[in-house]
Each structure stands twice: as structure tokens, then as C-alpha cells.
Amino acid sequence: MAAVLCQFGKITCLTGEVPEQTCSSAVACRDVGEGREQEAEASPARIAARRRYYQMIFCNDRVSAMTKAAAEDYAFYPAVPGEESFLQEVIEGLSRQPRSIPPKYFYDRRGSHLFESICEQPEYYPTRTETALLKQYAGEIATVAASDCHLIEPGSGSCGKVRHLLDALQPAAYVPVDISCEFLEKSAAGIADDYPWLDVHAVCTDITDEVSLPFIPEQADAVMFYPGSSIGNFDPEDARAFLACLATITGAGGGLLIGVDLKKDADILDAAYNDANGVTAAFNLNLLRRINRELAADFDIGAFAHHAFYNSASGRIEMHLISERRQTVNVGGQTFEFCAGDSIHTENSYKYTIDEFQALARQAGFAPCRVWSDNDDLFSLHYLQVA
Ligand code: AVI
């Protein structure tokens, strides 16, 4: 049994057999019950493929034992929380110039809910546009992606978008992977409830550090689903490395269905990241609330302001938190001085043309297969195959 570790934080990829000593334990997970087999009307080949899939090994310190209670309906692999790295990354980020904090730390419980709310704001077109594309083209997507595939969704969040695909695609298994354990557990349970024929294996881990699945499916095609234009939150060099990791995990015969936000009029972009209800501002400022709570810091949240704008030269939206006055902040025993106007850079959201994105994907080892976009050319959905 092979496992995959793909670490693109350091821009390296590893794959292959995992030596015995690196595995904390070898566990054969639940078998498929007779009732579920009948429910799914699965063919013998499909059942056999699923049975193989259950032979899993835990081979990563960060993935501990499967939660027993959840195992009745779906498998859950919680990561060991990385609080040390949170503190370290915040201290490092505030110590450098320009100051920055990685956007992955937006997504505590409140941040995940605020992001869901952003997606419903009238100015934030990506979610509704991509959802319309998924609904409209689910049938076509199912013709290019292998049915009975193992559908892996890095950064799965609420698992909302995948719902538009599942009936058409009929994957053998769904593997949501997310950094927010609590949110993931709830979302995965919802999918398991609503799609009783589907095998769900939720993995809580930080995909911006490493993509480490405790298993890979054997003799089954893996299809990655990476919607929402989250690829835009990586700098292009890291995006290329991340895509290359996905290609490595997916392997020959696999594919990637990915949503990519398109370059467009700056006014539309600026509005999308400065919604009138102030939800994006609350989402951005929540990062400081989280740091105060989890790292015993003392940011005065009222003394920082949300600032987002389209940087056309770089082809990206930039989000910042701007200090509104001179102030001193303590984090983890260290002191940071801010002048009025000083920024903490919290996120980039790169926008691509279809050609630019396909060129990036090619460099990462994918061959463009199909692309769908809306009539206003706001958003694109690409199906790529491992070249
Ligand atoms: C998750 N990601 C694709 C969002 C984006 O549009 O870059 C995050 C976001 N930040 C502010 N609004 C939405």
C-alpha cells in the first residue's frame, strides 16, 4: 500500500512506498456492509474497488486515529493541531517587512462561517457563477471524469459545491480535506447523511503545508476537485508547485476539476472584496481576533481597518489590515510597533486569463481537457488530465 506525501511549502514532492517505521499503526478500516452494497446498486467490480480502498494505513504523525463515533457513517482523520506553527508564522510574519500573515489562518470556526457569508454577498460573484457552471455542466463533467473515481477535495469547507456533482459523477468515494476540523466534521457528516450510497473519508490537515493522505486508492482513478478559485490564493510559483503535487497524488489516468477566477474590470473585483455589508472586512479583522484568542495577543481590533484593492500590475486582489493609529501590540511575548497607515498583508487573490491558467497547469504536469465559462467571462471551470 502506498501513501502520498506532497510537501509544497518547501516546493518538494515525495511519493511512493512508505517505509514501515514511519507508520504509526496499520489499520484496516470498516468493511462495506451488505445493505450499503445493495443500496448503491454497485457492481462486483465497484464493491471490490471499494474494499481495497478500506485497507488503509496511518503513516503520518499529523493524522491520528480515526474517530470511532464518526466511523459509523463516515471516516474521519483528525490532524494534530499545529498551534506552534501558528505562533511561529505570526511572529515571523509580523517581524518581516512588509508584514504579512498567511491567509490559511482566516479559517477558524468564525472565519469559516464568515467566508460562507462572503459567498452569499451580491458583490461576490465567484461562488454563484461557479455554482451555476457546476449545475449546468455536471453532465458534461461526468463524461470527462471517470465515474467510480475517488473524488478528493482539498480545502473542502462546507462541501457545498460538490453536491452539484455527486449525482452526475457517481464517485466511489469522496475525500474532503480541510484545515478546520470542526467545520469539516459537520460538513462531511452532512454529505454522508444526504448521500448514503457514497463512502466519505474526511481528512483534517493543512493543505498549504503538505498534502498528506493516509492512503491512496489502488486501481481506481482519482479526481481532484478544487473549486472556488482557491488556487488564486497562492503566488503563481506556489500555485505551480501545488498543482504539481495534485498531479502527483492523482497519478496517471486522474484528473483535476478546478475553478479559476478570471481577469476582469477592476471595479467588479474591488466591489467583490469590499462588500457593502462589511462581511469581507469582518472576515479580514477576524484574523486579529483569532490571534488574540489563540496566541494571547492584544491587538486592538477597532484600531485596524480592512483594505482590499486590485493590483493590476500583479493581476491580483490584495487584502491588508491597516493600523489606524500609532500602537504597540504584544504577541507571544514579543512587541510590535505600528505607525498609522502601517499594513499587515493578509491575502492575495490572483486572477488569470484562461490561457494564462492553462499555461500554468501545463507547467505543473496537466494537460487541459475542457474549460467552461459563463457568458460574462467572470469565472472559469477547467478539467485537466495528468499529462
Ligand atoms: C478562498 N478564496 C478563494 C477567497 C478569494 O476570493 O480569494 C477568499 C476571500 N477573501 C476575501 N473574500 C474571499
Q: Give 82-92 pLDDT, tens digit per residue.
A: 556 899 999 99
- Lowest model confidence (mean pLDDT) among 67-71, 198-202, 322-326: 67-71
Residue 349 Cα to ligand 1 middle (Å): 7
283: confidence class by pLDDT, cuts 50, 70, 90 = very high
Element (DSSP H or E) covering residue 183: helix 181-194
How far is 57 from 100, CA to CA, in rounded Å? 37
Q: Report if pTM > 0.85.
A: no
The residue whose CB lies within 8 Å of the most ligand 1 atoms, and thus the one to mutate among 347, 348, 380, is 347
Cell 511575548 maps to which residue?
333
Atom of ligand 1 nearest to the CA of 233: 7
Q: What one-character-per-residue DSSP string does 210-243 give?
A: -EEES---SSS-EEEEE-TTGGGGS-HHHHHHHH
Pocket of ligand 1, beta carbon within 6 A: 118, 228-230, 232-233, 273, 280, 347, 349
Pairing of strands 199-204, 75-77: parallel
Atom of ligand 1 nearest to the CA of 230: 3
pLDDT value of residue 58: 30
Element (DSSP H or E) covering residue 265: none
Atom of ligand 1 nearest to the CA of 349: 7
The residue whose CB lies within 8 Å of the most ligand 1 atoms, and thus the one to mutate among 153, 349, 352, is 349
Sequence-distant (6+) residues with CB within 8 A of 373 are 133, 262, 354, 379, 380, 381
Atom of ligand 1 nearest to the CA of 126: 6
DSSP 299: -
Give yes or no for a contact between 215 and 249, defined as CB atoms under 8 angstroms apart. no
